[in-house]
Amino acid sequence: MKLLLVGGTGTISSGVAKVALERGIELTILNRGLRTKADPVDAEVITADARDEEAMNRALQGRHFDCVIDFIVMLPEQLEQSMRIWRDKADQYIFISSASVYQKPVRNPFITEETPLENPFWEYSRNKIACEKRLQEEIAKGFPGVIVRPSLTYSDFQISFSMCPGTTTWSLLERIRSGKEIIVQGDGLSLWRITYNTDFAKGILGLCGNPKTIGEAFHITNDEIITWDQIYTQLGEALGVKTNLCHVSSWSIIKRYDMYRGILLGDHSCNVLFDNSKIKRFVPDFKCEVPFAEGARRCVKWYMEHPERQVYDEAWNKKMDFLATLA
C-alpha cells in the first residue's frame, strides 16, 4: 500500500509513521521540512507547503496514493483546497477531525459516532464540524473521504493537557518535579480517555486501503478509563514524586484566563466514555496496549534523554501560580 501523511512528524502523525514503517507500508510524508525530532528516516519525504496549492500540484505531479491521511486541515477553506489537490491523486482521503466535535454540554457520557456534533464553547471544534459537513457533501458526489476523530492523544515528546503550554511538556513535568501546585479543573474526578500515539496508529492504519470506510466516521481512543487526578498523579509517579494537586473550578479559571474556555468547557471538563465498537468492527485486531502509567514513564524518559528539549515556560508558570491562589 502506498500511504502519504500530510504532516508526519507531529504528536499523532509521528506515531502513525512509526507503525506504518514497522508494518512495511510504502510511506511518504509531505511537510515543509521544518521539524526533525520525529522524522521517520525510512520514509520518502516530499517537501512542500500544503497551503500553497500551486507548489503542491508541482510536487505531486504524476503521483497517486492508495491512501492520504491529512493531519493539518483545521478550517473549511483548507479542506476545500485539500479536496481539489487530492481528488485525482488518492483512492482514499482520511480527514483528521477531533472527538471534541461531539455535543457539549454532554447529555450522555457514552459517546458513539452517532452522538450529535455541537460544541458552542470551542471555535476549533466548530471549524472541524464545518469541515466534516463539507466533506460529507463531497463524499455524496463521489469523493473518497473518511473522517477520523482522535481524542486526547499523546506521544513521548508531547502531552497536550488542558492548561499546558503548547510548546513543550517539560514545563508541566518540571512543575510537578519541583512540588509546585498542579492546577486540575474541577474536582479532578471527570472521567477521561488518553491514547498513546502508536496505539491510535493501529486503529487508523487498519482503515487505510479499505473501500468500505468511504463515507464513514470513526473515533479512535484507548478503552482505559482514567480521572484527571489519576493522570497528573501518574505523571508524578513516573517522575518519582508525589504530585501536588490543586483543584480550581473551570469557571474560575476561565474568568481569569478566557483562552482556556474552549478546551475546558468544550472538552476536558466533561465526562466522556467513548464507545470504540465501530473501529473494532472495521479493524478487529485494534487494541490499545499502552496504559497511561506506562506512557507517562516513556514521556519522562524521553525528556530526560533530551536535555535540549527541557524548555521551561516561565510566563505559563506564573499563570499557574496565580490560579493556585484561587483554590
| Residue pLDDT, tens place only, 9-32 | 899 999 999 999 999 999 999 988
CB of 48 closer than 8 Å to CB of 30: yes
| Residue pLDDT, tens place only, 243-300 | 999 999 999 999 999 999 999 999 999 999 999 999 999 999 999 999 999 999 999 9
How many angstroms separate the Cα of 259 from the Cα of each of 30, 121, 195, 217, 265?
Answer: 31, 11, 24, 29, 11
99: which DSSP letter? G
**What is the DSSP track for 227-253?**
EHHHHHHHHHHHHTS---EEEE-HHHH
**Average pLDDT of the segment spanning 37-52:** 81
pLDDT value at 35 more than 80:
no
CATH class of 160-192+225-272+290-324: alpha beta
CATH class of 2-153+194-220: alpha beta
| Residue pLDDT, tens place only, 182-210 | 999 999 999 999 999 999 999 999 999 99
- Alpha helices, H only, 140-180: 170-177
Closest CA to 245 of 320, 156, 165, 158: 320
- What does the domain layout of the chain look like in residue ranges? 2-153+194-220, 160-192+225-272+290-324
| Residue pLDDT, tens place only, 109-162 | 899 999 999 999 999 999 999 999 999 999 999 999 999 999 999 999 999 888
d(CA 59, CA 42): 19
| pTM: predicted TM-score of the whole model, two decimal places | 0.95
87 Cβ contact partners less than 8 Å away, ≥ 6 residues apart = 143
pLDDT value at 163 more than 90:
no
